[in-house]
Structure 1
């Protein structure tokens, strides 16, 4: 019996003496986001750290919003700028919790590949952070909090998936996905852009700033193609197969009688062919939807709603294509189709940005819409 007591006590002493050099988790700093900009031939690195209470809180809210720390360092290379952080870190920094990378416009123009190369060379960095961009001050974006004292981790900067399921404006990209598209030949991709809305929400009758999408930055490989605002990119969602849910506002019988049609279950495909030695493209979109509002005095004619909604979708796709012709930006990713399916033609193109500016290159836009119900009786 005495032996049975001594043996557990012996192992207990080994455990407590052997763990004396182990750091408590609250004694380490956890980086949660990285920002990158470029100015005066130097990389500017921002690092966001959120207090441990927001990481360990299981109830989803705290009495006060968790503290957010944002550092700012600069150096000739991106990695050196990050290394400068250690001079004031106070405690060890853990990089494996980074869930977002935020790029400034100047950094995008200077080139993404050098930033990506710097990230993947350190084994603690994962390839799963979300990638965003901004035209605003990176420090302000990283310091913006969420609702109900949940802190900045509960914002679209760190958690864009749930809001995308409810309103699919821009498909969020993880780092590995975005890098794959940046390195893909003849492919135009984009980075969703974040801004701060200072007036839409109020907390206790005072303005409470919140993050929002304001557009997207487009790149072809590592070449900057431009920034485009939200209103210009409405057609983009119809060629994004991952689109979950969006809406179209249409006019009903009267000019001031408008209906909101919610669209779900998108299937889209862009196909190519050669006609008379020239490339031609067709866009086919299949969606399902329903009407969410109806005035008591209005009469919904299902066929008219379907046709009007289909026309609205077609017009948005066509408008995006025409904008691409004007700005020489391949929003519909037509060049990548040529690269894959008509490689010999693509290879012989002198100016690969101008092939889609020819008239008639977009042959047909076909939209099939199933209206599940027209909202009948919802106002009764």
Structure 2
């Protein structure tokens, strides 16, 4: 009996020690890669990594930082992607953890090489996920990764890591996640539209000095995984009217070249269908949306505003399609629509996917924009996230 009591007392005294997380590592004993950049130079794959101090990020939750949040960026190269990634270990000082990668950025040279080579080495690794935001850029990656947002906040509060917040306010260029890029690569006739990141040094100043900020200045259009064309944001205004999910787009209405009003078009729904007509493929587009008036310069009435909005949206879509066709880029993925809705015709015209569809045109564009209120004294409903 006494022996049993001694054993019980011994086990109870050891319990607090045994319950500890002995293999748990503190946050400061690992380096956390938050963004990856891919380049291709002189026949070698070049990998850039952005590293943040997570202990400082944790402090920001209780208030603003008095100093700029530190950011580190490093790069290595190799004959393969895996070799380049592994070479980062040589100077990392501590264990690198890849599970916090939130964004992937490709240079123009990497996109010309093709995304497939880069993704193969990345997606096979167990620590990474497929939910990262994917971008292209013409900027040097080390400079891009060093740009910080306002108020000394971490880069995690920038467009690089949180592009959906800006998109909900200005739905011009839709951000895209890695799993969607991988899926679209496999779809016949699909054109991947990769947002283009740019460093803007003109808009903001801090204490009179230029304060660089990130912005989306265009798109990289890719077929499967190869670059087709970079197109400026101003040239693809028609794309925003056919993007899926919650949108909010500002549209300046003009009459005889002069602004008459500004409206915000929301809840846009666009559909593309092949027109059942002989000859080269033609497509019908229908656009429906609800709008509210944001500003009135010249009072012409709701009906006139709606008519002008429909005309402007129709013209923007036509311009986008013509621009893409001129550059050999199917910006609306019309070939993919033909593949889904008229497979026999698609198969005949593309030799069953061996060549791109080049001869196509728009048949009709029907636009119905309904202005539902004047925009005054109204709380905007927060749209559901679809990212």
Q: Report the TM-score when normalising by structure 1.
A: 0.91
Q: CA deviation at 1:348?
A: 2.2
What are the equivalent positions in structure 2 for 1:25-40 lying under 5 Å apart? 25-40=27-42
2:345 aligned with 1:345: yes
Pairwise CA distance, 1:95: 0.4
Q: Post-superposition shift, 1:242?
A: 2.1
Separation in structure 1 between the aligned mates of residue 63 and residue 258 of structure 2, nearest angstrom? 42
Q: How does 1:83-98 map to 2 (within 5 A)?
A: 83-98=86-101
* Distance of 1:294 and 1:72 partners within structure 2: 51
Give how far 1:273 is off.
Answer: 3.0
Q: Distance in 2 between matches of 1:96 and 1:248?
A: 40
Alignment of 1:1-380 (within 5 A): 8-15=12-19, 19=22, 22-57=24-59, 58-59=61-62, 61-251=64-254, 256-295=258-297, 298-349=298-349, 352-357=355-360, 361-374=361-374
Structure 1 residues 92 and 246, CA gap change in structure 2 (3 angstroms): same
Deviation at 1:350, TM superposition (A): 5.2
Instruction: Write the distance in 2 (CA, Å) between the matches of 1:375 and 1:28.
Output: 50
What are the superposed Cα offsets for residues 290-324 of structure 1, whole Å, 9 maximum, x if unpaired? 121134xx423111111111100000000001112
Tell me how far 1:207 sits from its aligned partner. 1.4
- SS of the residue corresponding to residue 363 of structure 1 reads strand
- The answer to whether the Cα contact below 8 Å between 2:275 and 2:363 also exists between their aligned partners in 1 is no
Please tell me whether the aligned partners of residues 283 and 365 of structure 1 are also in contact (alpha carbons under 8 angstroms). yes
TM score, norm. by length of structure 2: 0.90
Whether the 8 Å contact between 2:325 and 2:358 is mirrored in structure 1 is: no
3-state SS, counterpart of residue 321 of structure 2: helix
Shift of 1:246: 0.7
**Alignment length, in residue pairs?**
370
RMSD in angstroms over aligned alpha carbons?
Answer: 2.2
Structure 2: 5+ residue stretches without partners: 379-387
Structure 1 stretch 188-197 or stretch 3-12: which is displaced more? Answer: 3-12
Change in Cα spacing, 1:354 to 1:178, as seen in structure 2 (3 Å) is closer
What secondary structure is seen at the aligned counterpart in 2 of 1:259? strand
How far 1:5 sits from its partner (Å)? 7.6
Deviates more, 1:341-350 or 1:171-180: 341-350
Distance 1:238 1:231 in 2: 14
